[in-house]
A and B are shown apart, each in its own frame.
Chain A
Amino acid sequence: MSKKIDGNVPQGPIEELWDKHRFKMKLVNPANKRKFKIIIVGTGLAGASAASTLAELGYEIDSFCIQDSPRRAHSIAAQGGINAAKNYPNDGDSVWRLFYDTVKGGDYRAREANVYRLAQVANNIIDQCAAQGVPFARDYGGTLANRSFGGAQVSRTFYARGQTGQQLLLGAYSSMMKEVNKGKIKVHTRQEMVELVLVDGKARGIITRNIITGEFEKHSGDAVLLCTGGYGNVYFLSTNAMTSNSSAAWKAYKKGAYFANPCYTQIHPTCIPVHGENQSKLTLMSESLRNDGRVWVPKAKADERKAADIPDEERDYYLERKYPSFGNLVPRDVASRNGKQAVDEGKGVGATKVAVFLDFRDAIKRDGLDTIKEKYGNLFDMYNRITDEDPYSVPMRIYPAVHYTMGGLWVDYHLQTSIPGCFCLGEANFSDHGANRLGASALMQGLADGYFVIPYTLGNYLVTEKPDQNKIDTDHPEFETSLKSAKDRFNKLLGINGGRSVDSFHKELGQYMWEYVGMARNEAGLKTGIKKIAELRAKFWKDVKVTGTNDGINIELEKANRVADFLELGELMARDALERPESCGGHFREESQTDENEALRQDDNFCHVAAWEYTGDNKEPNRNVEELDFPNVPLTQRSYK
């Protein structure tokens, strides 16, 4: 049973939507705000910015993170930068252009109204972060520096060396700590959300598991904000942190929140290639490197010569050749697919032959070693540490890796999921990037949601709740039911006592995902993938071996819980990819491509969001549909020629 669903977007000219809507939304009386307790899961850019801003407004905040401090959330690893349409460089940027580029970059699979709002508030983010003391890069006159970034023809990216995510997160974290000091935020570290609690159909709390003691805890509130990041670790190898997981979002899905466009994953073109089978994760090299580095492979197959011995005329600078106007700066999906194609043709480089070159020889010749060192020094050092090669003298080897997931919990214009009172912010939601995210837009969206959207839309929800008459505490039977179901699940995992480690299942799942639901997908492969994942899931519940007990620290048990959810999510991703036979952005179906092997959308049938609705274990979920229309950015075939 497929339903039509509505994103609750207000009507009117797009430039005025958010301002007018902010006026229309109801406000919570300042004296009442302290009566509302808000649960915020996750402390990345979205969670930390929401926690600090809502605390400043007067709400009581319970903040949860899996790490030992909120400062360690994986937003910290973002390197390149954050976009905003300040137009400081006077090079033709505007809110409209940022909006336009983001809709087009997302291959027309995002909601226009959300994207416009994102572009509008982006400028406020830069102001806010600068005021917090975020040490953005500056020019000699003391003004902020900008650079251009993957896919953009204007310089709109603000940065702090190669550590922009770190500095923005530490800014949001310090804002949180300011409110901790005032007693408005209570931080619960080393806690993992294991259940969402609904009372009368509304989100009213969560069950967590304390990673240190193994104890389960009940927490109630007036609303729950899930800011729990993406699900790239379903592939086992990705650029996500080791504990990044989908479980909080998955619990919400199983309680009725729709999961939108799970097949939209972003494969980042500039990662350090895999070295061997004991590899635990992949490391991204900022794509700012593509501003000065040139991507190439040898023209000849299986060329065993060193890079320096291959003369220019025998090199194929394939991005510059195929896309003369964007060259090495084509969007991530285009760069990734072309990299894979070169390797598939047998032109890969390095010991494993599963890599392409990213070469700084010409940039060093042009700008001098010192300039390149100043721009990219820390990235070059990192590359050197990992690979033991000096990128100043030999070209880097890079290969695509799973990096970001555009899909996530479906939210309306208010960032509310299909469960009333359950909101979802940042990478964990599906909203703003469509089928492909542009570089330097993830940080922008996380902070936009937390600093500038949720403070308004959450109030509009809470105003309908009566804090005095409607208090739910953790003695409510729904908390007991959820607590029991969480405990049962962990006990079940401990009781299987099979023969295979959790990681071995996770790695096998990752192989199926990469092979069948990876960079290029087709019907037969997806069907095989669905079958294999289902078989693996059945094996997991019979044969996984979880050592230890439920008391105290048990890392294997934590991992088993997350992998069990990945084994379900992976299947939904494959199913979503199968039911979307078009190509768009990061979702490439081999059956739907142009003569030049570019992604070919099928707007007549698929210009919509697929929002999956859980119907029960091992039952086919419903594919609900939110239609998308593009009155402001006319649908065109993306072309980066």
Chain B
Amino acid sequence: MSDKNNMTLNLKIWRQEGANVKGSIVDYRLEGVSPDMSFLEMLDLLNENLINQGQDPVAFDHDCREGICGMCSLMINGQAHGPERETTTCQLHMRKFKDGDTIVIEPWRAKAFPLHKDLMVDRSAFDDIMSAGGYVNVSTGNAQDANSILIGKDKAELAMDAASCIGCAACVASCKNASAMLFVSAKVSQLALLPQGQEEASTRVQNMVSKMDDLGFGNCTNEAECEAQCPKGIKISNISRMNREYLKASVTAHH
């Protein structure tokens, strides 16, 4: 690169008007991309050009652009959130690409995530799984002094590792089975590790897993693609923990 602003990219972007309309890959040539731009700022630039030509801009989800809200998505050259490890699309920068690169951009694809438009999909299935048990049943006002619950530092750190999940669904998108096990296990693990979550541990894991199955997510076959592509580094050891919790719940359940 001689000039800071001279990257030209060949974009291949999935365009689809709506869930019931056929979609296809459309080619765009984009000039003037700066290496300091984020990936989404690059798409902003494309959209600004499209608008100025009177064309419909590409729809994609995004919000905080700080890598924490979990709203952004995108399969970039076949990888969820693109090539950088532990990085969301909004935090991916164009300096990771080269002048003249071809970049293929597609939406998350899973049966449980119907497509809205272009690169936007409906992930409300994750809310459904959460409402099946991803919480501690404690009403406001019930709580004792926070220090009456002691939690060892190591355990607290493990729970925090699991709690870091941003619910972006990269795990589902990158899994050949479209399994949501990493997402579900992160919440199950966080609450199973903490004393607050013990009372409902059995029903929680059973209800969340059953909801996950009902919604059409696949099963885990230990490919570990989810861990490799998780922008928050959630470990598949959480899936093992969830399986143990599930087994424990099954054998101790009152019938």
Tell me whether A and B are bound partners. yes
Instruction: List chain A positions with a Cβ less than 8 A from chain B.
Output: 49, 52-53, 56, 67-74, 76-77, 86, 88, 124, 126-133, 135-144, 160-161, 163, 166-167, 170, 173-175, 177-178, 180-181, 187, 189, 212, 239, 241-243, 275-276, 278-281, 283-284, 381-382, 385-386, 388, 451-452, 455, 501, 503, 545, 547-548, 552-553, 555-556
Tell me the nearest residue of chain B to A381, going by C-beta.
Answer: B86
Are B41 and A76 closer than 8 Å at their CB atoms? no
Given contacts A74-B64, A175-B138, A276-B37, list 13 more A-B pairs with CB under 8 A.
Answer: A69-B167, A124-B143, A133-B196, A135-B159, A139-B153, A275-B37, A278-B37, A386-B38, A388-B95, A501-B52, A545-B51, A552-B17, A552-B18
Jot down 15 A-B pairs with beta carbons below 8 A, ordered by A: A53-B140, A68-B124, A71-B127, A127-B145, A131-B138, A133-B194, A133-B196, A166-B164, A175-B138, A178-B135, A242-B65, A275-B34, A278-B44, A501-B48, A547-B57
In this assembly, does B76 line the interface, its C-beta being within 8 Å of a C-beta of chain A? Answer: no
Given contacts A128-B140, A141-B150, contact A69 B126 (CB under 8 A): yes
| Cross-chain contact B150 with A142 (CB below 8 angstroms) | yes
Verify A56–B146 contact, CB threshold 8 A: no
Shortest distance from the beta carbon of B138 to any chain A beta carbon, whole Å: 5
A545 to B55 CA separation, bound complex (whole angstroms): 11
**Complex contact A69–B127 (CB within 8 A):** yes
Contact status A187-B91, CB under 8 Å: no
Please indicate the chain A residues that have their CB under 8 angstroms from the CB of B149 in the complex: 130-131
B44 adjacent to A382 (CB under 8 Å): no
The answer for the CA separation of A131 and B145 in the assembled complex, in Å, is 9
Report whether A71 and B167 are in contact in the complex, using a CB–CB cutoff of 8 Å.
yes
Residue among A141, A280, A556 having the largest count of chain B Cβ atoms under 10 Å: A280
A282 CB to nearest chain B CB (Å)? 9
CB of B65 within 8 A of CB of A127, answer: no
Within 43-59 of B, Cβ neighbours of A (below 8 Å) are at 44-45, 48, 51-52, 54-57, 59
Q: Are A163 and B167 in contact (CB under 8 A)?
A: no
Q: In the complex the two chains form, what is the Cα distance from A140 to B70 in whole Å?
A: 31
| A241 touching B124, Cβ below 8 Å | no
Among A77, A128, A142, which residue has its beta carbon within 8 angstroms of that of B153? A142
B129 to chain A, nearest CB (A): 9
Check A135–B163 contact: CB distance below 8 A: yes
What residues on A are CB-neighbors of B36 within 8 Å? 275-276
Q: Whole-angstrom distance from the CB of B150 to the nearest CB of chain A?
A: 3
Given contacts A241-B69, A388-B95, A553-B117, contact A135 B160 (CB under 8 A): yes
CB-CB under 8 A from A88, the residues of chain B are: 147
Given A127-B144, A174-B130, A547-B54, also A133-B69 (CB < 8 A): no
A68, A71, A135, A547 — most chain B CB neighbours (10 Å): A135
Q: How far is the CB of A177 from chain B (nearest CB, A)?
A: 4
Nearest CB in chain B to that of A170: its residue: B163
Q: Interface 1/0s, chain B 15-48, versus A by CB < 8 A?
A: 0011000000000000000101110110011001
B57 touches A555 (CB 8 A): yes
- Chain A residues with CB under 8 A of B86: 381
**Given the contacts A133-B194, A503-B48, A547-B54, A127 and B71 also touching, CB distance less than 8 Å:** no
Chain B 58-80 against A: per-residue CB contact (8 Å), 1 yes, 0 no?
Answer: 01011111111111000000000
Q: Is B234 an interface residue (CB 8 A)?
A: no
- In the assembly, what is the distance between CA of A142 and CA of B148, in Å? 10
Instruction: Determine whether the beta carbon of B190 is less than 8 Å from that of A553.
Output: no
Determine the chain A residues whose CB is within 8 A of the CB of B117 once the complex forms. 552-553
Contacts of A129 in B (CB 8 A): 146
Give which listed residue, B71, B139, B151, B197, contacts A67 with CB less than 8 A. B71
Complex contacts, B62 vs chain A, CB 8 Å: 242
Contacts of A175 in B (CB 8 A): 135, 138, 140
Q: Name A283's contact: one of B66, B160, B191 (CB within 8 Å).
A: B66
- Interface contact A127-B146, CB-CB below 8 Å: yes
Q: Which of B110-161 contact A (CB under 8 A)?
A: 116-117, 120, 122-124, 126-127, 130-147, 149-153, 156, 159-160
Residues on B lying within 8 angstroms of A by beta carbon are 17-18, 34, 36-38, 40-41, 44-45, 48, 51-52, 54-57, 59, 61-71, 84, 86-87, 91, 93, 95, 116-117, 120, 122-124, 126-127, 130-147, 149-153, 156, 159-160, 163-164, 166-167, 190-191, 194, 196-197
Closest residue on chain A to residue B196 by CB atoms: A133
B68 pairs with A163, CB closer than 8 A: yes
Q: Do B93 and A132 touch (CB < 8 A)?
A: no
Residues of chain B with a CB closer than 8 A to A173's CB:
130
In the complex, what's the smallest C-beta–C-beta distance from A331 to chain B, in angstroms? 23
- Are the C-beta atoms of A76 and B64 separated by less than 8 Å? yes
Within 8 Å CB of B55, what residues of A?
547
From B57, B135, B167, contact of A556 by CB (8 A): B57
Asked if B69 and A74 make an inter-chain contact with CB atoms under 8 angstroms apart, the answer reads yes
Report the minimal beta-carbon distance from B117 to chain A, rounded to whole angstroms. Answer: 5
Q: Are A77 and B64 in contact (CB under 8 A)?
A: yes
Contact A382 B67, beta carbon cutoff 8 Å: yes
> CB distance B197 to A133 under 8 Å?
yes
Considering the chains assembled together, what is the distance between the CA atoms of A131 and B151 in angstroms? 12
Residues of A within 8 A of B159 (CB): 133, 135
The CA of A280 and the CA of B44, in the complex, are separated in Å by: 8
A385-B163 contact, Cβ under 8 Å, with A71-B70, A278-B45, A547-B57:
no
- Residues of B near A135 (CB, < 8 A) are 156, 159-160, 163, 190, 194
Inter-subunit contact A68/B122 (CB<8 Å)? yes
Decide if A70 touches B127 in the complex (CB within 8 Å).
yes
A281: chain B residues at CB < 8 Å are 65-66
Residues of chain A with a CB closer than 8 A to B69's CB? 67, 72-74, 76-77, 241
- Cross-chain contact A187 with B71 (CB below 8 angstroms): no
B65 touches A177 (CB 8 A): no
With A135-B194, A386-B93: A174-B143 Cβ-Cβ less than 8 Å = no
Which interface residue of B17, B36, B38, B130 has the most chain A CB atoms within 10 A?
B130
Q: If the complex has contacts A76-B68, A241-B64, are A130 and B146 also in contact, measured as CB distance less than 8 A?
A: yes
Point out the residues of chain A lying under 8 angstroms from B136, CB to CB: 131-133, 174
Could you tell me if A386 and B91 are in contact, using CB atoms closer than 8 angstroms? yes
State A67–B44 Cα separation when bound (angstroms).
19
A452 to B135, CA, bound (A): 20
Our pick among A76, A167, A547 for the contact of B56 (Cβ within 8 Å) is A547
- Chain B nearest Cβ from A18, distance in angstroms: 15
Instruction: Using CB atoms, name the residue of chain A closest to B40.
Output: A280
Interchain nearest-CB distance for A376 vs B (Å): 15
Cβ-closest chain B residue relative to A56? B139
Asked if A133 contacts B54 (CB within 8 A), the reply is no
For B145, list chain A residues within 8 Å (CB).
127
Which A-chain residue is minimally distant from B17 (CB atoms)?
A552
